[in-house]
């Protein structure tokens, strides 16, 4: 069974050039999912997660709103990110950059695609995060297509499942797209 520590260590060992190449490959697979949406809920890359910041810039140029999870003290809430300038972001207790807590919150009625990071994924849409259930709780509260984003080596056959785990609609790696 894959461990959280194994994924964290492997990501820490990735070269910047490997991250850039894999991130571009992932971003190239996303436009078919973005055709009729109004907003994207992404994530700010942390600890060598795939970097989709160029995709967010493209989305903004296409007049799509970009939201990022913002820590509210107990959970994450998707808040609008109007600028791609790091000075308009603040670090949460986990060290992840978030939009300002005064930024507008995502409207439930907006057609949205969510890009969800993780440590491990299965082709069935199961995801292993850091084990606190924070992302799972957020995903159950919001509408939209939820897509796991990771490197090809993060796709495994099985993961342990817990009652509060959220099943993603798709998983995209730098090598493939899996429909859950």
Per-residue pLDDT of the chain (180 residues; tens, 9 = 90+): 789 999 999 999 999 999 999 999 999 999 999 988 999 999 999 999 999 999 999 999 889 999 999 999 889 999 999 876 666 889 999 999 999 889 999 999 999 999 999 999 999 999 999 878 899 999 999 999 999 999 999 999 999 988 888 999 999 999 988 776
Nearest to 51 by CA among 151, 177, 166, 159: 151
* Count of domains forming the chain: 1
β-sheet bridge partners, residue 86: none
pLDDT digits (tens, 9 = 90+) for 33-76: 998 899 999 999 999 999 999 999 999 988 999 999 999 988 99
Residue 165: inside a domain: no
What is the model's pLDDT at position 124?
93
Is 128 within a domain? no
Residue 67 falls within a domain, yes or no? yes
Nearest Cα to 42, choosing from 22, 27, 25?
A: 27
Q: Could you list the beta-strand ranges (E) of the chain.
A: 39-41, 65-71, 76-80, 89-91, 97-99, 112-117, 120-121, 127-128, 145-149, 170-172, 177-179
The pLDDT value recorded for residue 84 is: 60
Taking Cα atoms as reference points, which of 31, 10, 1 lies closest to residue 115?
31
> Is 47 a domain residue?
yes
Which structural domain, as residue segments, surrounds residue 42?
A: 4-115+141-159+170-179
Q: Does 88 map to a domain?
A: yes
For residue 26, the domain's CATH number is 3.40.50.10420
Residue 113: partners with Cβ closer than 8 Å, 6 or more residues away: 30, 33, 34, 37, 39, 40, 41, 144, 145, 147
Token readout for 33 is: 């999912």
- On whether residue 98 sits in a domain, the answer given is yes
Across the chain, mean pLDDT equals 92
């Amino acid at each position: 069974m894959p461990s959280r520590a194994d994924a964290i260590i492997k990501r820490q060992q990735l070269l910047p050039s490997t991250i850039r190449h894999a991130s571009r490959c992932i971003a190239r697979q996303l436009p078919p999912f973005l055709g009729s949406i109004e907003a994207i809920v992404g994530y700010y890359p942390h600890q060598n997660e795939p970097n989709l910041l160029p995709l967010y810039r493209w989305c903004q140029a296409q007049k799509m709103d970009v939201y990022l999870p913002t820590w509210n003290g107990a959970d994450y809430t998707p808040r609008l990110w109007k600028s791609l300038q790091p000075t308009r972001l603040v670090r949460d207790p986990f060290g992840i950059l978030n939009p300002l807590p005064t930024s507008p919150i995502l409207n439930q009625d907006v057609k949205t695609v969510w890009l969800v990071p993780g440590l491990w994924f299965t082709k069935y849409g199961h995801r292993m995060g850091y084990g606190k259930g924070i992302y799972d709780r957020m995903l159950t509260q919001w509408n939209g297509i939820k897509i796991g984003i990771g490197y090809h080596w993060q796709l495994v056959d099985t993961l342990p499942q817990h009652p509060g785990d959220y099943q993603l609609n798709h998983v995209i790696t730098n090598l493939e797209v899996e429909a859950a």
